[in-house]
Amino acid sequence: MLTAAGRVAPTAHKMSDSKRHIQRSSLRSSRGSQTNPHNRFIAHEYEVLDEYRELCRIEDEPVESDRTRYIAVHPKTIVTKVNSPDVNFSWSINPYQGCEHGCVYCYARNSHEYWGYSAGKDFERTILYKPSAPQLLREHFAKKSWQPELVMLSGNTDCYQPAERKLGITRQLLETFAECKNPVGIITKNALICRDLDVLKELNAQNLLRVTLSITTLNGDLRRTMEPRTSSVKQRLKALEVLTEAGIPVHVNMAPIVPGLNSHEIFDLVKAVGERGAIGVSYIMVRLNGQISDIFEDWIAEAWPDRAPKVLNQIRELHDGTLNDSAWGRRMKGSGHIAEQIKQMFDVARKRHIRPFQAEPINTRSFKRPSKHGQTTLF
């Protein structure tokens, strides 16, 4: 029944912990965030009237649609300068804003507020895409001021999220990188990357490519709950094999490590990716900046109620008593004895399971500016 506040009142009977967990897990099989917190940059907000909720209940209709919306946007530029000492690239491209993968911990959620949306459900179901991105990239490369450097795809949101399967913007960008022979990096947790194997092989043959595959856990149930619309663990490991067999070096990033959820998997995960040819592994500790702390706390309290206090307390211990740390050089690794233990485990696992690999410096000598007529110059 509905309460005066318009919420569903609890029933009188008790539910076992196991059944409660199954029910909560099924709720999170579609989306990561189950809330839509208010955008801090917007003065006004709306709420659903109790009368409308009651009407939806009578008609057996959802109060609001959970379908994903795709909205085309047309920025003036596409290559963004990255001013962070914590990453090893200086330029990035994000063909999509928002991400349907729904990773509950994603640091990019906060950026959706700049577009007028919430960092919660809106981030996952209102996807802004940039159809002009390939042409903007060509225009950028045509500038005399551009000196060839590695440009990272997915500096913020995943360039191979579900929308890419239909829209193909990332593939067009890769074709432009190959045409102009400018180095490109890719960070993704989607096996869809294998669709573009032909272009990736062309780039790799000229030492113009760096690929990082994000694998958070080997536990399928945890992956479905924490990253509901990402590629499965099996698919990501298979993607690693496919890329490796094609001669493309792949670095694996275990990101994020959440103490109490996946931190015990370090040895098993590093071993699994090492056996499939990963040339290196790294990790990032979870940090819950901005609105993400509220989204994560709500998620873990329902999805893993028995672990929630322990996990949240350990995250706070990583970041001097808070759920977030924005200090350069420390925010991605944490501090304290838990951070040190994880670092030591990762170092041991890496030495045991990853073969030494020395990559050549990325190729910046072959760059060709595109001509006005759509073809690269010969000289």
Pick 363 or 3 by higher pLDDT.
Answer: 363
In angstroms, the CA 364 to CA 379 distance is 15
Q: At what angle do helices 266-275 and 337-353 cross, to 10 degrees?
A: 30
In angstroms, the CA 76 to CA 95 distance is 13
pLDDT at 55: 61
Pick 184 or 47 by higher pLDDT.
Answer: 184
Pick 143 or 118 by higher pLDDT.
Answer: 143
pLDDT at 291: 87
Q: Which range (77-91, 220-234, 261-275) has the least confidence?
A: 77-91
Q: Which range (43-47, 177-181, 257-261, 331-335) has the least confidence?
A: 43-47
Which H or E element spans position 171?
helix 169-180
In angstroms, the CA 154 to CA 133 distance is 13
- How many beta carbons lie within 10 A of that of residue 251, not counting itself? 20
Question: 79, exposed or middle or buried, with CB in 10 Å at 0-12, 13-18, 19+?
Answer: middle
The side-by-side arrangement of strands in the sheet containing 96-97 is 69-72, 126-129, 96-97
Q: What is the pLDDT of residues 2-30, one digit of tens each?
A: 333 333 333 333 333 333 333 343 444 46
Q: What is the pLDDT of residues 73-95, one digit of tens each?
A: 999 999 999 988 778 889 999 99
**Contacts (Cβ under 8 Å, ≥6 apart) of 83:** none
pLDDT at 83: 85
pLDDT band for 53, please (50, 70, 90 cuts): low
Task: Give me 86's structure tokens.
Answer: 């914590």
> If phi over 0 gives left and psi between -120 and 50 gives alpha, with beta otherwise, what is residue 255?
beta
> CB of 108 within 8 A of CB of 290?
no
The most confident of 38-47, 226-235, 325-334, 367-376, by mean pLDDT: 226-235
pLDDT band for 238, please (50, 70, 90 cuts): very high
Pick 238 or 4 by higher pLDDT.
Answer: 238
pLDDT at 331 over 90: no
Biggest CA–CA distance in the chain, Å, is 78
Average pLDDT of the segment spanning 298-306: 92
State the DSSP string of 322-370: SS----TTTTTT--SHHHHHHHHHHHHHHHHH-----PPPPP-SS--PB
pLDDT at 138 over 70: yes
pLDDT band for 183, please (50, 70, 90 cuts): very high
Instruction: For residue 252, give Cα distances in angstroms to 212, 241, 273.
Output: 5, 12, 7
> CB of 153 within 8 A of CB of 133?
no
- How many beta carbons lie within 10 A of that of residue 264, not counting itself? 12
Average pLDDT of the segment spanning 56-60: 63
Pick 180 or 2 by higher pLDDT.
Answer: 180
Nearest alpha carbon to residue 249 among 214, 283, 209, 199? 209
| Percentage of residues in the chain having pLDDT higher than 70 | 80
pTM: 0.82
For residue 195, the Cα-to-chain-centroid distance in whole angstroms is 19
In angstroms, the CA 151 to CA 140 distance is 12
**Contacts (Cβ under 8 Å, ≥6 apart) of 87:** 152, 155
User: What pairing do the DSSP bridges indicate for beta strands 250-257 and 280-285?
Assistant: parallel
Domains (range + CATH), the chain = 68-353 (3.80.30.30)
